[in-house]
Amino acid sequence: MIELRNLSIFYGETQVVKEVSLSIARGASFALVGESGSGKSTILKALAGQVTDWTGQIRLGDHSLEHGRDPALVRLCQMVFQDPFGSLHPRKSVDATLSEPLAIHRIGRQNERVLEAMDAVGLARKFRFRLPHQLSGGQRQRVAIARALMLNPPILLLDEPTSALDVSVQAEVLNLLKSLREDHGLTYFLVTHDLPVVSFLCDELGVLRNGELTEVTSVERLKQGNLQSEYGNELLSKSH
Amino acid sequence: MMLTTQWLLDENPQTRAQSRAGQAYRLFLALLRNPLAIVGALIILLLLVVAAFAPWLAPYSPTESNLSMRLMAPSAAHWMGTDELGRDILSRIIHGTRITLFIVLLVAVISAPLGLLIGTVAGYFGGWIDKVLMGLTDIFLSFPRLIMALAFVAALGPGIENAVIAIAITAWPVYARIARAETLTFRNSEFISAIRMQGASHGRIIFGHVMPLCMSSTIVRVTLDMAGIILTAAGLGFLGLGAQPPLPEWGAMISSGRAYILDQWWVATMPGFAIVIVSLGFCLFGDGLRDILDPRSRTK
Amino acid sequence: MSLLTVENLRVSFPTEQGRVEVVKGISFELGRERLGIVGESGSGKSMTGRALLRLIREPGLVTADQMNFDGIDLLTLPEKGMRSLRGARLSMVMQDPKFSLNPVMRIGDQISEVLRFHGRLNRRARRQRVLQALQSVRIQDPERVYLQYPHEVSGGMGQRIMIAMMVVLEPDLMIADEPTSALDVSVQSQVLDIMDDLVRNKGMGLILISHDLNLVARYCDRILVMFNGRIVESCIASELHQASHPYTRGLLASVPTMDERRERLPVLDRALLEGLETHD
């Protein structure tokens, strides 16, 4: 579903991602882990079309991603951002946020679709006209997830979707993400530094260090506390 | 459907209309808690009422001269006295409200959207578009307002419409600067990235997502600028380049009263009061609006 | 004798619906030990920390039956006395070093400024103390860092500098509010280890405020769990996993583990917890 071939990404002169190749099957849940500055967020941004200065090849499904604005990308993948406070427009109600993608693509039955989406992410209908500041962090993240699913993309990019949430709320959102994947057969591409989250939500992980992929391995090995690379195990020992 | 406060303040509105009405009502409640803003609002309201009913409120004609009654001191018959042509000053001030409102509204309608558009476009795109637009803005900003307006009126010819156009042309750069600064703070934010990922066009993002966020600061700024606009208009009138006689424009009235300022003080002073009070009204109201609308001063 | 005694501390803020209490009458004592306050956002844990330093501004209101620090009554102490107490004997490490350091002042000068405000050391002695403090937070080349500006150092380094700034005055009690949540995981434990060392070696008291149960359990002797402005559980850190309150148990269970085999994570039953609260 997602295939990277010799992907290198540049910020001006500096190369932040070096020759990364990856292949993720349809319906899989893949985690990219690494410390900050490892380039994991940059890869995510390239997939999302926000970073365009890259070489190599990015394939999403049957589509080969273009540099610059790629209209096909919209229907292929959507993103859930890290910060539920910053990813929602502060003056738009839940209703406005969720109906916007429908309005952009002239999709009908907006009313029903918005309500369906709210039900799907477990957001009570009474919150429909609330503004973001009237919602809790967990509720906001549910809105962000619902927004990402409005256009029914097969791929969901997750940028540390629970790191800004309380642990009990994190559990709710992780459960939601897990069941959404099962129900809709979504492919997840998760970027995080939180290894236990990977253990719960993913079945494969890649370890990134200074822009280079040190290993790609199954999450089963993570659960057994035994990654392949030395750096991977170092990372494992650092997180409590 | 009952329009009760309970319905308005409902935490869980049922429809879009209810949620909008509720938000407006909350703003209104917040405004009520600010006494100075209420004073400002009352002054503006008074201005609107007087302008609407000017012909019925004014005791005399604003333009008909009566030379036998010239330069009369304030009295029971003429509360604010009469001017050098024997016209009742109160009546002229009452009719003058229409001209003031006309100027203020027209300037606001022309310059605020223009400034908002230029500022948001510059801030959103950045790069050379930003450089060109902001260069243009800086050129306009670098001239003193009245001098600029003077130059435009001199080129376009005197008259109230041209005065309005001249003031509008000199007023927009401020709004463009504010809108750009505000746009820069969130152009890279995640909610803009999110909407871009959903395939929204640049136009849709600017009009639908960027502008609403710049709107409140622009509204506040426009309200605060109203006083300045009135003063500029009066200044042009005073210099004989704005409204032409016999139109009862306040600045022009002060100008014609200048010759008598030592012996017949009321001729120039009364319209001066009118300008001061209306300017003050807009200032107070603008300050109040800023307290409510400005997200930075608002606590959660 | 205990270092800090707090009895029936309440913090409230006015809202459109009247005054709302965010801390609802909590009491605890602290010796020269490490106390963890755990809770989720909105539990009142941060407000508790701020109230102790009297950093809650109008219109917030702080009341208590007793708030005593080493024999000093914090409730009645005038603001001037409070200012000299803050930093010198009671200090606070904030969440994000980026916002706590002055961006246009050299790091060494900033720390030195703290000394100048509170002490009567001369310039040379101050510089010596600053370098020592930087060394104590395991900064390899303190001379170089002394001359740097805050934007020239990394987040983890920034937080270590903040800690250096706090310990340079050798306070009796340090309050750390989520000191590492803005840092990378790999740096987090490093910063906490440094803090832990200092607290042990200098015999300070520490209040560590965090949302992270496991982290607090690792670095503290005793733990208070807060929920909705109340302390719902108080236990010895090593016995956290035998906690009895449903909220604490729920929190512990909802954290995924490295070897996560559960299909779904258990979720807190908030209605039940709020029900429990009204029965108290």
Q: Which residue of A has its CA nearest to C211?
A: A166
* Partners of A54 in beta bridges: A9
Q: Is C256 in contact with A137 (Cβ distance < 8 A)?
A: no
Q: Residue C12 gets which letter from DSSP? A: E
Min Cα–Cα distance to chain C from A224, Å? 7
Q: Is A129 in contact with B19 (Cβ distance < 8 A)?
A: yes
Q: Is residue C198 part of a domain?
A: yes
Out of C211, C263, C264, closest to residue A167 by CB = C211
Q: Is B200 in contact with A104 (Cβ distance < 8 A)?
A: yes
Q: Is residue B65 part of a domain?
A: no
Q: Residue B14 gets which letter from DSSP? A: S
Q: Is C258 in contact with A170 (Cβ distance < 8 A)?
A: no
Q: Is B193 in contact with A105 (Cβ distance < 8 A)?
A: no
Place of tokens 């209908």: A125
Give the burial class of B284: count Cβ atoms within 10 A of its Cβ; 0-12 exposed, 13-18 middle, 19 or more buried. Answer: buried
Query: In terms of Cα–Cα distance, which of C113, C119, C111 is closest to C135?
Result: C111
Q: Is B199 in contact with A91 (Cβ distance < 8 A)?
A: no
Q: Taking the model in full, what pTM does it have? A: 0.82
Q: Is C185 in contact with A193 (Cβ distance < 8 A)?
A: yes
Classified as helix, coil or strand, C18 is strand
- Give me the interface pTM, i.e. the ipTM: 0.87
- The answer for A21, left when phi > 0, alpha when psi is -120 to 50, beta otherwise, is beta
Q: Answer whether C273 touches A (CB < 8 Å).
A: no
Chain C CB contacts of A137 below 8 Å:
41
Q: Answer whether B13 touches A (CB < 8 Å).
A: yes
Query: Distances in Å between the alpha carbon of C78 and those of B144, C81, C84, C85, C172?
Result: 51, 5, 10, 11, 20
Q: Is B189 in contact with A91 (Cβ distance < 8 A)?
A: no
The pLDDT score that the predictor gives to residue C277 is 66
Q: Is C189 in contact with A224 (Cβ distance < 8 A)?
A: no
CATH number of residue C219's parent domain: 3.40.50.300
Interface test with C, best of A33, A168, A175, A221 (most C CBs within 10 A): A168
CATH number of residue A77's parent domain: 3.40.50.300
The pLDDT score that the predictor gives to residue B133 is 94
Min Cα–Cα distance to chain C from A22, Å? 24
Q: Is C268 in contact with A168 (Cβ distance < 8 A)?
A: yes
Chain C CB contacts of A172 below 8 Å:
267
The pLDDT score that the predictor gives to residue A147 is 94
The pLDDT score that the predictor gives to residue B292 is 79
Which residues are within 8 A (CB) of B76 and not within 5 positions of it... i.e. 6 or more apart? none
How many domains does the structure of chain C reveal? 1
Q: Is residue B53 part of a domain?
A: no
Place of tokens 């600017």: B206
Q: Answer whether A136 touches B (CB < 8 Å).
A: no
Q: Is residue C77 part of a domain?
A: yes
The Cα–Cα gap between C219 and C213 comes to 10
DSSP one-letter string for A143-194: HHHHHHHTT--SEEEEESTTTTS-HHHHHHHHHHHHHHHHHHT-EEEEEES-
In tens, the pLDDT along C123-173 reads 888 888 888 888 888 888 888 888 888 888 877 788 888 888 887 888 889
Min Cα–Cα distance to chain A from B10, Å? 11
Query: In terms of Cα–Cα distance, which of C174, C201, C164 is closest to C36?
Result: C174
Q: Of A125-139, B49-63, B147-161, B195-209, give the range with the top mean pLDDT.
A: B195-209
Q: Residue range A93-99: average pLDDT?
A: 91
Q: Residue range A99-112: average pLDDT?
A: 90
Min Cα–Cα distance to chain A from B107, Å? 27
- Which residues constitute the domain of residue A57? 2-89+153-238
Chain C CB contacts of A235 below 8 Å:
186
Q: Which residue of A has its CA nearest to C266?
A: A171
Q: Is residue B5 part of a domain?
A: no
Q: Residue range A221-239: average pLDDT?
A: 86
Out of C41, C263, C266, closest to residue A171 by CB = C266
pLDDT band at C257; cut points 50, 70, 90: confident
In tens, the pLDDT along C206-240 reads 999 988 888 888 889 999 999 888 999 899 988 88
Backbone angles phi, psi at B149, to 5 degrees: -60, -40
pLDDT band at B299; cut points 50, 70, 90: very low
Query: In terms of Cα–Cα distance, which of B233, B226, B237, B243 is closest to B280?
Result: B226
CATH number of residue B177's parent domain: 1.10.3720.10
Tell me: pLDDT of A232 over 70. Answer: yes
Min Cα–Cα distance to chain B from A155, Å? 13
Question: Cα A131–A133–A134 angle (5° rounding)?
Answer: 70
In tens, the pLDDT along A4-59 reads 999 999 888 888 899 999 999 999 999 999 887 788 889 999 998 888 889 999 99
Out of A179, A194, A240, closest to residue C189 by CB = A240
Q: Answer whether B70 touches A (CB < 8 Å).
A: no
Tell me: pLDDT of B232 over 60. Answer: yes
The pLDDT score that the predictor gives to residue B298 is 45
Min Cα–Cα distance to chain B from A2, Å? 17
Q: Is residue C220 part of a domain?
A: yes
Query: Distances in Å between the alpha carbon of C8 and those of C13, C48, C95?
Result: 17, 11, 26
Query: Which two tokens mark B129?
Result: 């578009």
In tens, the pLDDT along C48-68 reads 988 988 888 878 889 999 998
Q: Is B197 in contact with A74 (Cβ distance < 8 A)?
A: yes
How many domains does the structure of chain A reveal? 1
Task: Give the CA radius of gyration of chain C.
Answer: 20
The pLDDT score that the predictor gives to residue B132 is 94
Q: Is C259 in contact with A239 (Cβ distance < 8 A)?
A: no
Q: Cα–chain-centroid distance for residue C111?
A: 20
Q: Which residue of A has its CA nearest to C253?
A: A168
- Which residues constitute the domain of residue B257? 81-293
Q: Is residue B205 part of a domain?
A: yes
Q: Is residue B21 part of a domain?
A: no
Out of C41, C258, C267, closest to residue A225 by CB = C258
The Cα–Cα gap between A193 and B253 comes to 73
The pLDDT score that the predictor gives to residue C8 is 93
Q: Is A93 in contact with B19 (Cβ distance < 8 A)?
A: yes
The Cα–Cα gap between B7 and A193 comes to 46
Q: Of A197-201, C161-165, C264-268, give the range with the top mean pLDDT.
A: A197-201
Chain C CB contacts of A175 below 8 Å:
264-265, 267
Q: Is residue A190 part of a domain?
A: yes
Q: Is B191 in contact with A134 (Cβ distance < 8 A)?
A: no
Chain A CB contacts of C266 below 8 Å:
171
CA atoms within 13 A on the CB side of B116: 23
Q: Answer whether B11 touches A (CB < 8 Å).
A: yes
The pLDDT score that the predictor gives to residue A199 is 93
The Cα–Cα gap between B295 and B125 comes to 24
In tens, the pLDDT along A151-196 reads 999 999 999 898 888 888 899 999 999 999 999 999 999 999 889 9
DSSP one-letter string for chain A: -EEEEEEEEEETTEEEEEEEEEEE-TT-EEEEE--TTSSHHHHHHHHTTS---EEEEEEETTEEPPSS--TTHHHHEEEE-S-TTTSS-TT--HHHHHHHHHHHTT-S-HHHHHHHHHHHTT--GGGTT--GGGS-HHHHHHHHHHHHHTT--SEEEEESTTTTS-HHHHHHHHHHHHHHHHHHT-EEEEEES-HHHHHHH-SEEEEEETTEEEEEEEHHHHHTT--SSHHHHHHHHH--
The pLDDT score that the predictor gives to residue B204 is 93
Chains that touch C (3 or more CB pairs under 8 A): A
In tens, the pLDDT along C190-203 reads 788 888 888 888 88
Q: Answer whether A108 touches B (CB < 8 Å).
A: no
Q: Is B209 in contact with A89 (Cβ distance < 8 A)?
A: yes
Q: Of A54-68, B54-68, C149-163, give the range with the top mean pLDDT.
A: A54-68
Out of C41, C218, C263, closest to residue A166 by CB = C41
Tell me: pLDDT of B99 over 80. Answer: yes
Q: Answer whether A105 touches B (CB < 8 Å).
A: yes
Classified as helix, coil or strand, B120 is helix
Total number of residues shown for chain C: 280
Q: Residue range B137-166: average pLDDT?
A: 85
Tell me: pLDDT of B1 over 50. Answer: no
Q: Residue C57 gets which letter from DSSP? A: P
The Cα–Cα gap between B275 and C176 comes to 57
Chain A CB contacts of B209 below 8 Å:
89, 92
Chain B CB contacts of A87 below 8 Å:
190-191, 193-194
Chains that touch B (3 or more CB pairs under 8 A): A
What's at C70, amino acid-wise? D
The pLDDT score that the predictor gives to residue C279 is 53
Interface test with B, best of A78, A89, A91, A110 (most B CBs within 10 A): A89
How many domains does the structure of chain B reveal? 1
Q: Is residue B29 part of a domain?
A: no
Classified as helix, coil or strand, B62 is coil
Tell me: pLDDT of B64 over 80. Answer: no
Q: Answer whether A130 touches B (CB < 8 Å).
A: yes
Q: Answer whether B198 touches A (CB < 8 Å).
A: yes
Q: Is A35 in contact with C186 (Cβ distance < 8 A)?
A: yes
Instruction: Mark which residues 165-184 of C lie under 8 Å from A by CB.
Output: 184
Place of tokens 């200048």: B258
- Which residues constitute the domain of residue C259? 4-89+169-279
Q: Is residue A19 part of a domain?
A: yes
H-type alpha helices, chain B? 5-8, 16-32, 35-52, 54-57, 89-125, 127-141, 145-156, 160-186, 190-197, 202-205, 211-238, 250-257, 266-293
